[in-house]
Amino acid sequence: MTARWTAFLDGAARLSAQQWLLRAGAPVGAGLVLLLHHGAGGAVQPWFLGLTLAQALLVAALPDSSAGLFLVLLLGVHWALYVPDGATLTPWSLAAALVLLAMHLAVTLATYGPPSLMLPGRLVLRWVRRGLGVAGGTVAVWLLARFFPAWPGTAAWAAGIGLALVLAWVLWLTRQLGPRG
């Protein structure tokens, strides 16, 4: 156990400035989502604030673990339970989705290598472009659901379009990241 703890502290001491910035995405992103949660009319429970902060710091310390998944689940469940139903399609929810996307991208980039790694600019730019593509799809689905609520089956159409965009994204990524023949 002592060797693992020593290795963890050694890695933390060698974090590059870029890694500090990427890993800060988790606590900063979680804090922004909680602020948006409050703006949407939701009540942020004090116990939840502490739990979220602890989880976000865990994600920053161990970005390549499943801690990030639990952070997103915590924020999503809390949003679903404590934000009024009328705030579902407000700009607050769109902003929260985009912040979660940015947080996900930052943590993903933080997992690319050892703590001292400086990622090449073209790799970061590639992920930023991918993130902007997902953000565009998110905004498109939100706009559809927001401005066509009286249209019969809008929720089903929005979900279908969202799933189609995700499928297209996965197929594109599979082709881009798959083995070269």
pLDDT in tens, 73-109: 999 989 888 888 777 788 999 999 999 999 999 999 9
Give the rounded percent of residues in the chain with a pLDDT score beyond 90.
45
Residue 5: predicted pLDDT: 61
In a 3-state reduction of DSSP, which class is residue 85? helix
Alpha helices in the chain (DSSP H): 2-13, 17-39, 46-61, 67-82, 91-110, 121-147, 154-177
Hey, what amino acid is at 110? Answer: A
User: What mean pLDDT is predicted for residues 129-137?
Assistant: 90
Query: What residue ranges do the domains of the chain occupy?
Result: 1-116, 119-181
Written as six digits, the tokens of 34 are 């909680």
Measured CA to CA, the distance from residue 170 to residue 20 in angstroms comes to 29
